[in-house]
């Protein structure tokens, strides 16, 4: 498989301590990128970074002072910033009628406010020389998702923010796109482990029809990393405001 090289690209990856963020931190240094990994969990994030040949900076993406300090340190370590891959987020379950104000504030704070703050910090570092931002959205924020009402709302906000900033920041040579992934992660393994045999069988039967390619979630290294590598490269510099669905055809965006 041919994968885009990222030699010399200076990249910040949030949500680096687990899931898809972890997968990217482990993969992109091998493609030539200089990577600063960020996560609120210092122990997990620092371990991943050290094993991958990246550097680590702790950040709380929902806290403006923390974000500003973290990005200033990342720029110092990298000598600037070319790409932000903002993967940090949470996805708690909540039916619409039972969603609480506290849950709303927490999820929107991390997923939506966190997107705004990290993007603004990246903008400050990119406004003179341009750059690329990849925000993590979700099919939930476009199509809706039962039992994920607040999560879906937060990802809808990410989509609207990204498309607006894409229009405004194009004048600075900054592109911003939305990644909408359906990828198998350890978190998904935990979700599956909590299902009864009957629930798991029903879930797998649903996935077999919901995901046209393969009938299951994609693999991080095979299906996910090559796409992100391209969108983090200079070859993707004429694309902005797009939803990039890495999901086997589950959501065919128009």
Can you tell me whether residue 212 is helix, strand or coil?
A: coil
How many CA atoms lie within 13 Å of 58's alpha carbon, on the beta-carbon side? 7
Range 143-153 average pLDDT: 92
* Backbone phi, psi, residue 74, to 5°: -60, -45
Range 66-75 average pLDDT: 98
Is 80 exceeded by the pLDDT of residue 45?
Answer: yes
Per the rule left: phi > 0, alpha: psi between -120 and 50, beta: everything else, 178 is beta
Range 92-107 average pLDDT: 95
Confidence of residue 68 (pLDDT cuts 50, 70, 90): very high
Cross-strand bridge partners of residue 244: 179
**Domain extent listing, the chain:** 10-183+218-246, 184-217
Range 188-203 average pLDDT: 88
Query: Using alpha carbons only, what angle is made at residue 51 by residues 47 and 55, rounded to the nearest 5 degrees?
Result: 70
pTM metric for this prediction: 0.95
- Burial of residue 128 (number of CB atoms within 10 Å: 0-12, 13-18, 19+): exposed
Is 90 exceeded by the pLDDT of residue 2?
Answer: no
How many CA atoms lie within 13 Å of 225's alpha carbon, on the beta-carbon side? 22
Q: How high is the pLDDT of residue 187?
A: 79
Mind listing the pLDDT tens digit for each residue in 215-230? 999 999 999 999 999 9
Q: How high is the pLDDT of residue 189?
A: 87
* DSSP result, 108-143: IIIIIIHHHHHHHHHHHHHTTT-EEEEEE--THHHH
Confidence of residue 212 (pLDDT cuts 50, 70, 90): very high
Range 108-118 average pLDDT: 98
Is 90 exceeded by the pLDDT of residue 105?
Answer: yes
Confidence of residue 115 (pLDDT cuts 50, 70, 90): very high
Span 10-183+218-246: which CATH code? 3.40.50.720
Is 80 exceeded by the pLDDT of residue 120?
Answer: yes
Mind listing the pLDDT tens digit for each residue in 125-146? 999 999 999 999 999 899 998 8
- Which of the residues 151, 172, 188, 231 is marked catalytic? 151
Range 233-249 average pLDDT: 96
Is 80 exceeded by the pLDDT of residue 1?
Answer: no
From 147-151, 156-160, 190-194, 216-220, the region with the lowest mean pLDDT = 190-194
Q: How high is the pLDDT of residue 195?
A: 85
Q: How high is the pLDDT of residue 33?
A: 98
Is 80 exceeded by the pLDDT of residue 246?
Answer: yes
The mean of the pLDDT values for the chain is 96
Say whether 151 is catalytic: yes
Is 90 exceeded by the pLDDT of residue 53?
Answer: yes
Contacts of 5 (CB under 8 A, 6+ apart): 31, 32, 229, 233
């Amino acid at each position: 498989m041919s994968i885009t090289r990222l030699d010399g690209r200076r990249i910040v990856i949030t949500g680096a301590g687990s899931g898809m963020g972890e997968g990217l931190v482990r993969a992109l240094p091998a493609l030539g990128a200089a990577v600063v990994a960020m996560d609120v969990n210092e122990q997990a994030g620092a371990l991943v970074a050290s094993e991958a040949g990246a550097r680590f900076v702790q950040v709380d993406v929902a806290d403006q002072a923390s974000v500003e300090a973290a990005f200033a340190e990342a720029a110092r370590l990298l000598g600037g910033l070319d790409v932000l891959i903002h993967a940090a987020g949470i996805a708690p379950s909540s039916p619409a009628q039972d969603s609480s104000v506290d849950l709303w504030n927490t999820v929107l704070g991390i997923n939506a406010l966190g997107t705004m703050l990290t993007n603004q910090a990246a903008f400050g570092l990119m406004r003179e020389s341009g750059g690329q931002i990849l925000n993590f959205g979700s099919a939930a924020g476009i199509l809706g998702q039962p039992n994920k009402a607040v999560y879906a709302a937060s990802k809808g906000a990410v989509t609207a923010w990204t498309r607006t900033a894409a229009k405004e920041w194009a004048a600075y040579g900054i592109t911003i796109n939305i990644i909408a992934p359906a990828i198998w992660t350890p978190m998904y393994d935990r979700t599956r482990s909590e299902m009864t045999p009957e629930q798991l069988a029903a879930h797998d039967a649903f996935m077999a029809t919901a995901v046209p390619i393969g009938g299951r979630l994609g693999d991080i290294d095979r299906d996910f990393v090559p796409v992100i590598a391209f969108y983090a490269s200079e070859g993707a510099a004429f694309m902005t405001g797009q939803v990039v669905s890495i999901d086997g055809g589950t959501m065919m965006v128009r």
